[in-house]
């Protein structure tokens, strides 16, 4: 299978590396189209595939074309690659807020998969939620799922609106986690720990809680009950959280992210 990645920036490179590292594709079957000469030169040094600066006949050879450019660059991209596109090719887009229908119309083809990945894909612990047009076959979807699994976990959805929902949860989600971590680090410093101690206490607490959650079959609510004793320190913290409506606050934040994702999808 030949894969063409268009846009060798953060995400394009992340996917290229994950495919090569997991040996799903070897570098003789990996093509990268990157218009920035500086980035193209850096990509060539990595030897993960053949790097091109302009679209040409090789676009026709790709079984799967991955669109990893910024959403504002799609119109010029569509016009340059459309002459080389054929109906049997599958296009996989990781562009935020660009609908399947827009890609079908822009490129004049039917088989489109839309994915919302997230940043931890860089280290193999990403979360990708994907949806597709009806014309993508089951076998093609399995192939796409195998590729996405090289950079983390995957969830398939029939309903494209759920890609906007995934944008609000797992797409933006790493930033929410960093926000909570930042709050904990600042509190640890205020209580007298050094910066590095505060980071270690916070990181290890997040990690330990996640590992516990993964290892046993309890809900978050049950875990909170296990840590909290009546009249104790955790209960005091939760009284303050509830007074400040902390949970409601971040739920409102996620809802706003979802509405913004929908607005952006409508803007293109």
Ligand X SMILES: NC(=O)c1ccc[n+]([C@@H]2O[C@H](COP(=O)([O-])OP(=O)(O)OC[C@H]3O[C@@H](n4cnc5c(N)ncnc54)[C@H](OP(=O)(O)O)[C@@H]3O)[C@@H](O)[C@H]2O)c1
Q: Judged by CB, which is closer to ligand X: 13, or 90?
A: 13
Per the CB < 8 A criterion, the answer to whether 138 and 113 are in contact is: no
b/e 81-103 (16+ beta carbons within 10 angstroms → b): beebbeeebbbbbbbbbbbbebb
The minimum distance between CB 197 and ligand X, in angstroms, equals 30
The minimum distance between CB 191 and ligand X, in angstroms, equals 33
The minimum distance between CB 54 and ligand X, in angstroms, equals 8
SS3 198: helix
The minimum distance between CB 18 and ligand X, in angstroms, equals 13
Distances (CA, A) of 243 to 63, 171, 228, 248: 55, 29, 17, 11
Distances (CA, A) of 222 to 146, 212, 213, 227, 228: 34, 12, 10, 9, 10
Q: Judged by CB, which is closer to ligand X: 6, or 25?
A: 6
Residues forming contacts to ligand X in the complex (CB under 6 A) are 6-12, 33-36, 39, 68-71, 73, 76-77, 94-96, 117-119, 171
Q: Judged by CB, which is closer to ligand X: 25, or 68?
A: 68
SS3 135: coil
Per the CB < 8 A criterion, the answer to whether 151 and 124 are in contact is: yes
- Residue closest to ligand X (Cβ): 9
Q: Which two tokens stand for residue 19?
A: 């495919």
The minimum distance between CB 11 and ligand X, in angstroms, equals 4
Q: Judged by CB, which is closer to ligand X: 10, or 187?
A: 10
Q: Judged by CB, which is closer to ligand X: 33, or 185?
A: 33
């Amino acid at each position: 299978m030949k894969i063409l990645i268009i846009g060798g920036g953060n995400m394009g490179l992340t996917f290229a590396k994950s495919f090569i590292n997991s040996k799903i594709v070897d570098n003789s079957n990996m093509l990268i189209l990157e218009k920035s000469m500086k980035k193209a030169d850096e990509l060539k040094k990595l030897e993960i595939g053949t790097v091109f600066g302009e679209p040409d006949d090789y676009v026709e050879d790709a079984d799967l074309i991955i669109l990893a450019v910024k959403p504002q660059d799609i119109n010029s991209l569509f016009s340059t690659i459309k002459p080389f596109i054929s109906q049997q090719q599958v296009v996989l887009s990781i562009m935020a807020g660009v609908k399947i229908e827009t890609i079908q119309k822009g490129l004049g083809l039917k088989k489109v998969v839309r994915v919302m990945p997230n940043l931890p894909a860089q280290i193999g612990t990403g979360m990708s939620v994907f949806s597709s047009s009806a014309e993508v076959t089951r076998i093609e979807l399995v192939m796409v799922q195998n590729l996405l699994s090289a950079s983390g976990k995957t969830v398939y959805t029939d309903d494209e609106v759920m890609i906007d929902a995934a944008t609000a949860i797992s797409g933006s989600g790493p930033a929410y986690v960093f926000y909570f971590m930042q709050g904990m680090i600042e509190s640890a410093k205020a209580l007298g720990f050094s910066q590095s101690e505060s980071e270690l206490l916070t990181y290890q607490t997040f990690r330990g809680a996640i590992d516990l959650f993964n290892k046993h079959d309890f809900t978050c609510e049950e875990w909170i009950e296990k840590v909290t004793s009546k009249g104790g320190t955790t209960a005091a913290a939760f009284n303050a959280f509830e007074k400040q409506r902390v949970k409601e606050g971040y739920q409102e934040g996620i809802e706003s992210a979802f509405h913004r994702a929908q607005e952006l999808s409508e803007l293109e």
